[in-house]
Amino acid sequence: MKILIVEDEVKTGDYLRQGLTEAGFVVDLARDGLDGLHLALNGDYDLVVLDVMLPRLDGWGILQTLRRSSRETPVLFLTARDQVEDRVRGLELGADDYLVKPFAFSEFLARVRTLLRRGRNHEPETLRSANLELDLLRRRVNRCGQRIDLTAKEFALLELLLRRKGEVLPRSLIASQVWDMNFDSDTNVIEVAVRRLRVKVDDPFEPKLIHTVRGMGYVLEAMEPI
C-alpha cells in the first residue's frame, strides 16, 4: 500500500516516512503544499497524511482540491492546531481523521491501518495462492500455517506477484513498482530479490509458486503437475 505524507517539518516528515517504511508501506514525502497536491492528484495513493500549515498551499486547499476533483483518497490530518473549530473544518471539508501533535507513533500507525481498512473495504485484506497467504493489514505472510518473516522489499515483491497472479511480470515493471527505479539490465537486484524470496516462501514448500519465464520475467501461479 502506498502512502503520501505532506509535511514541511523536516524532522517530523523524516520520522513518519521511516516509521511507515519500516512497517512495510511504500511512502512518498512532499515538503510543501503545491508539491503535495501534484503528487496527490497524479499518484495512486491509498492514504494521504496531511499537515495544515504548509508553504505555498495549506492543507485546507489541498483537501478542497482533492475532493473537488472527485478524489476519495482517505486523508489523515496531522497537525499542531488543536482548536475544535479547526478539527470540525477539516472533517467538514472531507478529512477522514484528525490527529494532533505531539502524538505516539503507535496511535498514528493504528489510525493509518484503520483508514486503510476502511478505504479498501471493497478489496480483500488477504491475498492467497494455494497454501500461501499474505495479510495486507498486519503485514504478515503464512504458508501451510507457518509464519514467514520478510523484509519490506520482499513483502512488496510478493504482494505485487500475488496481485498480478498468473501474469508474467517483466523485470522493468518489478523495478518500477517495488524499487521505484528504472530497470538497468546490468544490475541483478531483481534476480537476487526473487531468489531470496523463493528461499523463504517456496523452497521448503509444495507446490512451487514463483516461476521464471526465460527472457520475459516472473510469474506467481500454482502450476498443475504434468
In the chain, the percentage of residues whose pLDDT exceeds 90 is 55
The answer on 68 and 48 residing in a single domain is: yes
CATH number of residue 99's parent domain: 3.40.50.2300
The answer on 110 and 3 residing in a single domain is: yes
> CA-to-CA distance for 41 and 98, rounded, in angstroms?
21
Domain limit, last residue, from 70, 85, 117 = 117
Which among 32, 76, 79 is positioned nearest to 54, based on CA atoms? 32
Res 125 pLDDT > 80: no
Res 15 pLDDT > 60: yes
Please give the pLDDT value at position 120. Answer: 58
Give me the domain span that covers residue 177.
124-218
Please give the pLDDT value at position 117. Answer: 81
Residues 6+ apart with CB under 8 A from 5: 13, 16, 17, 20, 27, 28, 29, 30, 48, 49
pTM of the model: 0.59
The answer on 112 and 1 residing in a single domain is: yes
> Does residue 223 sit within a domain?
no
Domain count for the chain, please give it: 2
Domain limit, last residue, from 54, 83, 117 = 117
Please give the pLDDT value at position 188. Answer: 85
Contact 161, 45 (CB under 8 A): no
pLDDT digits (tens, 9 = 90+) for 64-109: 999 888 888 999 998 886 677 777 888 888 899 989 888 899 999 9
The answer on 128 and 22 residing in a single domain is: no
The answer on 31 and 92 residing in a single domain is: yes
The answer on 12 and 99 residing in a single domain is: yes
Instruction: Name the band, by pLDDT with cuts 50, 70 and 90, for residue 225.
Output: very low
CATH number of residue 186's parent domain: 1.10.10.10
Please give the pLDDT value at position 182. Answer: 64
**Mean pLDDT, residues 115-139:** 80
Domain limit, last residue, from 117, 132, 153 = 117
The answer on 139 and 107 residing in a single domain is: no
The answer on 113 and 2 residing in a single domain is: yes
pLDDT digits (tens, 9 = 90+) for 160-218: 999 888 889 988 888 877 887 665 656 788 899 999 999 999 999 999 999 999 988 99
Task: State the virtual CA torsion across 175, 179, 181, 186 in degrees, nearest 10.
Answer: -60
pLDDT digits (tens, 9 = 90+) for 23-74: 888 899 999 999 999 999 998 899 999 999 999 999 999 999 998 888 889 9
The answer on 56 and 83 residing in a single domain is: yes
Reply yes or no: is the peptide bond before residue 55 cis, omega within 30 of 0. no
79-87 long-range CB contacts below 8 Å, 24 or more apart?
Answer: 79/51, 79/52, 79/53, 80/53, 81/52, 81/53, 86/52
> Does residue 225 sit within a domain?
no
Res 129 pLDDT > 70: yes
